[in-house]
């Protein structure tokens, strides 16, 4: 039998199979060894009654008689099947701004078959436990019932510091009471409050706005006096942060969320940042470099940087080529189920930026054997002086992005930064006519990618289809966020700065990882300076490292690829139309066009059924 401590590492499917196996064993055991039926005769019943009679305590028969006469009071048991009564509460559509570190999650969107938890799964559990939503089956994740929308669907391992969702939540806004309310419903509501108090205490009860003593007459007066979003409303951010994991935080909410707001369709700009270090990986000392290493790169520039260092200037020049409206079919992964035919996306800004005041110095990188011969490449245009490693990020702003588009863009930029490709490779890949199929290059690592911000400008027009509304004519307003966010701490400063505030939580999260970084950096610096590699005590030791090109893909290690294959000679993947036709034939259609026509007919029929039902 497996140790119970191992179950935490099992996949979901394996756990289900294990449970089914154990249930089968229990049924077979019960069938082979049925439990004996107890006798129910009068004599046995009397004996059983005598055996279960409580014996007198230290006080003797006198005390026992007193207790028997009075009758003992057992503590009142709370029913476990009490549910909140949705009819007693009003609801409102609320926009929430989230931040999460996605390294330990299987993506943002809920997936029943995922081995790792998802952000939406954690959100659902917190929303249900806090009684902000009241689904019929709390164990079943069904966001569609709550007017739910999300701005971006980050993939596994990707983080977000400005994700936005909209969802209909319970509100403290008074609701006009119905006449003839029974007191039993009020008592039932008190039971729900008691269960909530067991989880979070009286403080959480007050934050959630669920009151134990429900006064229906007082609610009428509250309606007349008006409702304040900050003194009367539920503290959504704080309530959820008390229940969410430490690496998922709610940063702000919008009290003026329109009733028709869609976090997906109203968003007109999404900003991403992809972080990396300079150097990207530890350089090899010049005395150990293989003279044939440059030949292993084949299509390299004459000013190729030293192995490990990145040419920030060339990387920035290539990044600028993404700006504007382009066909990005060679910078994405094609999803056969989506049937996307338009790969044009507009990029407002694309640049490489240095992060100030975050570097941890490693003195060995200043040594002559580790420096790049080209000081401009090593130091960068913006920092003529400084210590290494430095931190940079690829900054990109656009209206919308394709699947894995950012990671594809970064992968190509890293090839340029290493001197393996010219910046002009971006122009060739953006020319869909000349390059209809994407070269089979490896995507950049997902962990350093962050959805940084989602922008919702004021939209002009009254079109019912939000996607058809136009941004403001004034260019200055097109990229300004019109959402009136209320950040945690603005309504109550103690929610941000206190022993239980947001800053305290994030400080604890940051400090643990900062000490890990500090200790790892001290150890790395100690090891790098500890030995004299020039002694070469082993006469059989090779004179140089292997003549194999290392390629940086954004992860913690560079990959050995042997002889680098230029982008122009890489094998290509099937074109999007070929992928769609193959998937259509697998589903029984002649081609993708017939499949899309069938989907359009089904949508039209469904819409017609809705119209007929309304009439």
Give the pLDDT score at 373: 67
* Residue 247 DSSP SS3: coil
Give the pLDDT score at 185: 53
CA distances to 112, 313, 349 from 407, rounded to whole Å, are 25, 20, 16
d(CA 169, CA 511): 34
Tell me the average pLDDT across 423-432.
96
| Residue 394 pLDDT grade (very low, low, confident, very high; cuts 50, 70, 90) | very high
d(CA 483, CA 492): 20
Best-predicted range by mean pLDDT among 26-40, 504-518, 521-535? 504-518
Give the pLDDT score at 179: 53
Strand-pair partners of 270: 398, 454
d(CA 542, CA 549): 18
Are 143 and 166 within 8 A, CB to CB? no
Are 203 and 241 within 8 A, CB to CB? no
CA distances to 12, 102, 123 from 8, rounded to whole Å, are 10, 19, 21
Are 488 and 502 within 8 A, CB to CB? yes
Tell me the average pLDDT across 176-184.
56
d(CA 444, CA 551): 11
d(CA 250, CA 239): 9
CA distances to 50, 55, 74, 363, 376 from 60, rounded to whole Å, are 18, 9, 21, 82, 95
d(CA 134, CA 419): 56
Q: What percent of the chain has pLDDT over 70?
A: 73
- pLDDT over threshold 80, residue 511: yes
In this structure, are strands 390-398 and 269-278 parallel, antiparallel, or unpaired? antiparallel
Tell me the average pLDDT across 370-387.
57
Give the pLDDT score at 77: 59
Give the pLDDT score at 253: 95
Both tokens of residue 153? Answer: 């669907």
- pLDDT over threshold 70, residue 375: no
Give the pLDDT score at 458: 76
More confident residue, 391 or 378: 391
| Residue 383 pLDDT grade (very low, low, confident, very high; cuts 50, 70, 90) | very low
Active site residues: 155
Both tokens of residue 214? Answer: 């429900």
d(CA 456, CA 34): 66
Give the pLDDT score at 599: 87
Both tokens of residue 4? Answer: 């119970």
Residue ranges with strand state E in 419-468: 449-455
| Residue 453 pLDDT grade (very low, low, confident, very high; cuts 50, 70, 90) | very high
- pLDDT over threshold 70, residue 211: no
pLDDT (tens digit per residue) in 548-576: 889 999 999 999 988 899 999 999 999 99
Residue closest to 228 by CA, chosen among 167, 177, 173: 173
Give the pLDDT score at 298: 55
Instruction: Tell me the Cα Rg of the chain.
Output: 32
More confident residue, 520 or 214: 520
Strand-pair partners of 278: 390
Give the pLDDT score at 386: 64
Q: What is the DSSP letter of 92?
A: E
Give the pLDDT score at 554: 95
More confident residue, 1 or 143: 143
């Amino acid at each position: 039998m497996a140790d119970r401590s191992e179950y935490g590492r099992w996949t979901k499917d394996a756990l289900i199979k294990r449970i089914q196996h154990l249930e089968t064993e229990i049924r077979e055991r019960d069938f082979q060894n049925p439990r004996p039926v107890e006798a129910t005769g009068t004599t046995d019943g009397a004996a059983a009654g005598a055996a279960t009679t409580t014996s007198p305590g230290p006080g003797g028969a006198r005390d026992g008689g007193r207790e028997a006469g009075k009758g003992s009071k057992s503590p009142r048991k709370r029913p476990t099947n009490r549910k909140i009564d949705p009819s007693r509460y009003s609801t409102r559509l609320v926009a929430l701004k989230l931040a999460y570190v996605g390294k330990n999650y299987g993506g943002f969107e809920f997936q029943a078959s995922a081995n790792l938890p998802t952000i939406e799964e954690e959100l659902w559990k917190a929303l249900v436990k806090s009684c902000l939503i009241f689904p019929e089956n709390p164990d079943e994740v069904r966001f569609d019932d709550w007017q739910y929308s999300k701005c971006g669907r980050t993939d596994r391992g990707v983080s977000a510091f400005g994700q936005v969702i909209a969802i209909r939540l319970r509100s403290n806004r008074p609701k006009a009471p119905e006449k003839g309310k029974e007191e039993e419903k009020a008592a039932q509501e008190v039971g729900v409050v008691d269960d909530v108090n067991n989880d979070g205490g009286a403080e959480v009860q007050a934050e959630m706005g669920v009151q134990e003593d429900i006064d229906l007459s007082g609610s009428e007066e509250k309606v007349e006096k008006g409702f304040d979003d900050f003194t009367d409303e539920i503290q959504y951010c704080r309530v959820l942060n008390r229940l969410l994991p430490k690496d998922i935080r709610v940063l702000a909410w919008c009290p003026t969320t329109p009733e028709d707001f869609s976090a997906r369709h109203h968003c007109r700009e999404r900003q991403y940042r992809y972080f990396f270090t300079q150097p990207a990986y530890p350089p090899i000392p010049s005395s150990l470099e293989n003279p044939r290493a440059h030949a292993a790169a084949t299509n390299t520039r004459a000013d190729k940087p030293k192995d490990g260092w990145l040419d920030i200037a060339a990387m920035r020049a290539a990044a600028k080529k993404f700006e504007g409206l382009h066909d990005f079919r060679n910078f994405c992964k094609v999803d056969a189920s989506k049937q996307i035919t338009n790969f044009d996306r507009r990029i407002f800004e694309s640049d490489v930026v240095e992060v100030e005041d975050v570097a941890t110095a490693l003195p060995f990188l200043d040594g002559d054997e580790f420096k790049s011969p080209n000081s401009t490449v090593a130091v960068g245009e913006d920092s003529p002086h400084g210590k290494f490693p430095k931190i940079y990020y690829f900054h990109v702003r656009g209206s919308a992005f394709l699947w894995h588009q950012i990671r594809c863009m970064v992968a190509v930029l890293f090839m340029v930064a290493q001197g393996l490709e010219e910046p002009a490779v971006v122009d060739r890949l953006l020319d869909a006519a000349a390059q209809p199929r994407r070269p089979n290059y490896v995507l950049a690592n997902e962990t350093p990618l962050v959805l940084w911000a989602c922008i919702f400008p004021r939209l002009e027009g009254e079109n019912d289809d939000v996607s058809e509304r136009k941004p403001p004519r004034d260019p200055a307003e097109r990229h300004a966020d019109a959402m009136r966010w209320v950040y945690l701490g603005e309504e109550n400063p103690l929610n941000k700065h206190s022993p239980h505030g947001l800053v305290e939580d994030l400080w604890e999260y940051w400090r643990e990882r900062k000490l890990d970084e500090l200790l790892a950096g001290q150890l790395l610096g100690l090891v790098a300076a500890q030995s004299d590699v020039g002694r070469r005590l082993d006469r059989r030791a090779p004179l140089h490292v292997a003549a194999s090109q290392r390629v940086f893909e954004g992860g913690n290690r560079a990959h050995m690829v042997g002889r680098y294959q230029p982008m122009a000679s890489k094998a290509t993947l099937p074109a999007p139309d070929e992928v769609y036709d193959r998937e259509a034939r697998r589903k029984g259609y002649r081609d993708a066009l017939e499949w899309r026509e069938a989907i359009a007919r089904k949508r039209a029929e469904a819409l017609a059924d809705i119209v007929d039902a309304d009439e």
